[in-house]
Structure 1
Amino acid sequence: MIRQLSVFFSVILVTSLSAKDVQPVGVGGNWKLVEAFSDEFDGKAINEKKWDHRLKPWGERSWTPDNVWQKDGNLHIRARYEEHARKGKEYFYKMGILRSRQKTTYGYFEARIKGCDRFPGLCPAFWLYSYGVDRNPDYPHVTYSEIDIVEMQQNNYLKELKGKAPVNHIDCNLHTRVLDENGVEKWIRPQQRPDLCAHHYTAPWDPRDDFHLYAAEVTPDKITWYIDGKEVASAENVYWHLPMAVTLTMEARPPLIKWANGGRVPVPENVTPEGFPTEMVVDYVRVWERIDSFDSPISSSKN
């Protein structure tokens, strides 16, 4: 029995050490794994000291904690059909979100994800975003930073195709809000600045079929996206300098919702239970700090 316990604890130790020692896929350099934003999802329950999955709904995004769980070494985030009302408005789907309790700005962010079965209508995503009153004094005009490491299965309309994007169109976009010369807050998004904010990769595979690696390196000067260790896009880092939360979500997309009045609203005539429930699956999330080039301490700011 003692020998069995010894072997058991040795396996745990080796697994833990190997997870800490592993390096980002596809990029060189010397990296340090940041535990506050990394998770192998091997436990029986969400690590609530590290992650928040009980966020209040945002508009049509009806987050509920029962749509996020861990099983067999994976994180599962579900979307399900369920008619419900909030503040006198009718909604039709409930989904899940996992958001880090701490925030960070620069580093290498990697997750191994399998998309959901339902297409079109849902978007599994891995992203970083700022919220609250956090500001960077070196960039006083920036009020919001969002880096979409991956948004898959969006099925958005593409001018170049004169139609909807296919399932293998992988989006890697940027969003920000800045103050103009008059102090008025303005959005800068892929629609306004496609040269800076709109990026995509046409995959030779279907993201619903298997796990793939989605990653981005964020430095003070540049944002670079990687898929399966291959660089697929890059952009100058003009506005993305605020502390951001590491986030995984399932969200509704057209035809189940539409953009209206600066937000998203359900489209009741397109509501359907077909294809629900469905879920995205995440093998792990790992975040590293580069320690061999620039001084980029990981922020530990909390909510």
Structure 2
Amino acid sequence: MLVAPQTSGTALAAPGPLTWSDEFNGPAGGAPDPSKWSYDIGGGGWGNNEQQYYTNSRSNSALDGNGNMVITARRENPANYNCHYGRCQYTSARLLTNGKFTQAYGRFEARIKVPRGQGIWPAFWMLGNDLGSVGWPNSGEIDIMENIGREPSTVHGTLHGPGYSGGAGITSSYTLPGGRRLADDFHVYTVDWAPDSITWYIDGIQYGRKTPADLRGNRWVFDHPFFMILNVAVGGHWPGYPDGTTQFPQQMTIDYVRVYAHQNNGGGGGNAIVGYANKCIDVPGGNSVDGARLQLWTCNGTAAQQWTAPGDGTLRALGKCMDVAWGSSANGAAIQLANCSGNPAQQFVLSAAGDLVNPQANKCVDVSAWNSADGTPLQLWECNGGANQKWRRA
């Protein structure tokens, strides 16, 4: 494992606008909000020879009535909890936002009190939303917080990707001073994710920062939306296994999870594309779903309006590309967001005259019906020099 030297004293900058949160308010024993969280269920070792079986039972994940969500790992071996190597010895929970919320870039933060004990492995982390199509580690993994019981004072933040996964992950760590233990109190665990860097903090103290230059020539795959995961594992190759000193049940208590838009402060992010009525090209609701119809909207500095130009002819926001729907060259074809594919429908040139042209169609990005209202959809149209086809970088 590559462990970076600790860095401290760098204060958190102001984040962008809040885009998603869960404050876990609700009655004791209530389920996590099903509009925000789903469950991984099973006990196949999870690639690390772990010993827990993940359930959706309230005994393993529930609100506590005090504004927290609690994940509880228990020692139990019900007959119906089978693992690939035999009977699971423990139950726990693994909650995720996959299919409910994803975001590329921004601040991801949670206030958590971790459990304790040999073999206990709490984590707050993220996986790429293309996991199902490209697999792990090509999808990328950002570990915001990991702690293992035998290191009670140390938090780890790690990147996994092709050529730097598992024990070869690119890692930073921070150890609380004075022998304090993470499990004794709540701490705020944060990553700031920009197109060219990922930075880790605990309680506002920076302890790690990674850029593509740190990947030893391997591919930077942190350029598309990710979903979040909260879980408590028991055992596994890295933390080792519970022993006679480990007490159960063990609980991870989460006060909140909050996500903010990427704030472009000159650190390698994108720029707004400003046009008709001094409004910006915008992804509706900041939702990076394929096919999102791009629109005109009052400029607000959010990630939904930050467009990067990586030099391959594409314009990208929220980890996806500006695209002409179905590769059409017809007047009125929708301008949308889509997975970057290298298709000519995703090539755009901003001319010196302010025309944003798709060369394949030799037509311009146009504000429909000369309408300057927020939410007016963008379309492809013959270039005519109109004000509704003029754009500039801001």
The answer for the alignment partner of 1:121 in structure 2 is 119
Q: 1:216 to 1:40 in 2, by over 3 A?
A: same
Q: 1:214 to 1:203 in 2, by over 3 A?
A: same
Q: 1:88 to 1:109 in 2, by over 3 A?
A: closer
2-structure distance, mates of 1:272, 1:148: 29
2-structure distance, mates of 1:40, 1:288: 14
Deviations along 1:97-116, one digit per CA (max 9) or x if unpaired, are: 11113222211011000011
The answer for the alignment partner of 1:198 in structure 2 is 171
Q: Which amino acid aligns with 2:36?
A: K
2-structure distance, mates of 1:33, 1:244: 16
Q: 1:201 to 1:274 in 2, by over 3 A?
A: closer
Deviation, 1:33, is 0.5
5+ residue gaps, structure 2, are 1-9, 213-219, 272-282, 291-394
| 3-state DSSP of counterpart to 2:222 | coil
Q: Which amino acid aligns with 2:147?
A: M
The answer for the alignment partner of 2:53 in structure 1 is 62
Q: TM-score, normalised by structure 2?
A: 0.54
Deviation, 1:275, is 0.6
The answer for the alignment partner of 2:158 in structure 1 is 173
Q: 1:232 to 1:88 in 2, by over 3 A?
A: closer
Are residue 208 (structure 1) and residue 183 (structure 2) matched? yes
Deviation, 1:142, is 7.4
Q: Which amino acid aligns with 1:248?
A: L
Pick from 204, 209, 227 the counterpart of residue 202 of structure 2. Answer: 227
Q: 1:301 to 1:103 in 2, by over 3 A?
A: farther
The answer for the alignment partner of 2:89 in structure 1 is 92
Q: Which amino acid aligns with 1:91?
A: C
1-structure distance, mates of 2:186, 2:25: 17
2-structure distance, mates of 1:151, 1:145: 16
Check the 8 A contact 1:102/1:300 in 2, yes or no: no
Structure 1, 283-292 or 209-218: larger mean CA deviation? 283-292
Q: Which amino acid aligns with 1:113?
A: I
Deviation, 1:27, is 2.3
Check the 8 A contact 2:113/2:185 in 1, yes or no: yes
| 3-state DSSP of counterpart to 1:50 | coil
Query: What is the alpha-carbon root mean square deviation over aligned residues?
Result: 3.0
Greater share of strand residues, 1 or 2? 1
Are residue 31 (structure 1) and residue 16 (structure 2) matched? yes
Q: TM-score, normalised by structure 1?
A: 0.69
Q: Which amino acid aligns with 2:133?
A: V
Trace 1:103-118 onto structure 2 (pairs within 5 A): 103-116=102-115, 118=116
Q: Which amino acid aligns with 1:47?
A: D
Q: Which amino acid aligns with 2:176?
A: A
Trace 1:37-76 onto structure 2 (pairs within 5 A): 38-44=21-27, 45=30, 46-53=32-39, 55-59=41-45, 60=50, 61-66=52-57, 67-71=60-64, 72-76=66-70
Deviation, 1:271, is 6.2
Q: 1:225 to 1:88 in 2, by over 3 A?
A: closer
Are residue 252 (structure 1) and residue 248 (structure 2) matched? no
1-structure distance, mates of 2:172, 2:203: 16
Identity value in percent: 30
5+ residue gaps, structure 1, are 1-24, 136-140, 156-165, 179-186
Q: Which amino acid aligns with 2:182?
A: P
Q: 1:278 to 1:192 in 2, by over 3 A?
A: closer
Check the 8 A contact 1:124/1:251 in 2, yes or no: yes
1-structure distance, mates of 2:101, 2:168: 30
Q: Which amino acid aligns with 1:123?
A: W
1-structure distance, mates of 2:237, 2:14: 43
Deviations along 1:41-72, one digit per CA (max 9) or x if unpaired, are: 01233110111135344424411112111111
* Number of aligned residues: 238
| 3-state DSSP of counterpart to 1:133 | helix
Trace 1:235-274 onto structure 2 (pairs within 5 A): 235-237=210-212, 238-253=220-235, 257-258=236-237, 274=246
Instruction: Look at both structures and tell me which one has the larger radius of gyration over its CA atoms.
Output: 2
The answer for the alignment partner of 1:14 in structure 2 is none
